[in-house]
């Protein structure tokens, strides 16, 4: 069934007059009564893609691993796997111990930035 081009009746029951009374001018849509919902918030897709840490189990313990994209990498770090610099603009991983001796907060405070390849090919000897 085709839509009617006839303007909708306002909630008060009185007939609407002109464009200003029909909601947003020029759009043909009526405003929601009470204005409960505002505009939708803008989504930060980059943060959504890289914002979650994953848990990894290895012979040397439980680790939390978070991927950092190249656009969010802004500082220089030293990779503990190869002892070379992780330069700004290079995608890498942030890794911290989940089962630290002094608790998860201490493990988070001792987080390290690794090259992705160094992390996946690391040996499990105690560092």
Please give the pLDDT value at position 7: 73
- Its pTM stands at 0.57
Within 9-91, strands assigned E span: 53-58, 61-68, 77-78, 85-86
**Residue range 14-47, pLDDT digits in tens:** 655 555 444 444 445 555 555 566 677 776 555 5
55 and 13 within one domain:
no
84 and 116 within one domain:
yes
90 and 32 within one domain:
no
**Residue range 73-122, pLDDT digits in tens:** 999 999 999 999 999 999 999 999 988 889 888 888 999 999 999 999 98
Count the domains in the chain. Answer: 2
50 and 24 within one domain:
no
Please give the pLDDT value at position 33: 53
What is the percent of the chain with per-residue pLDDT over 70, rounded to a whole number? 65
Residue 107 exposure: Cα atoms within 13 Å on the Cβ side: 16
114 and 91 within one domain:
yes
Strand partners, 93: 67, 114
53 and 31 within one domain:
no
Q: Are 39 and 45 in contact (CB under 8 A)?
A: no
Which residues form the domain of 95? 45-120
For residue 76, count CB atoms less than 10 angstroms from its CB and return exposed for 0-12, middle for 13-18, buried for 19 or more.
Answer: exposed
| Tokens, residue 68 | 């950092």
């Amino acid at each position: 069934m085709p839509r009617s081009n006839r303007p909708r009746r306002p909630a008060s029951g009185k007939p609407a007059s002109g464009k200003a009374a029909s909601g947003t001018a020029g759009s043909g849509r009526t405003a929601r009564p009470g204005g409960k919902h505002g505009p939708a918030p803008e989504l930060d897709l980059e943060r959504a893609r890289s914002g979650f840490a994953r848990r990894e189990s290895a012979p040397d313990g439980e680790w939390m691993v978070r991927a950092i994209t190249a656009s969010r990498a802004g500082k220089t770090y030293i990779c503990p796997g190869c002892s070379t610099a992780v330069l700004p603009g290079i995608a890498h991983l942030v890794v911290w111990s989940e089962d630290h001796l002094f608790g998860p907060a201490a493990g988070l405070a001792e987080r390290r930035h690794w090259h992705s390849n160094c992390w996946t090919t690391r040996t499990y000897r105690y560092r």
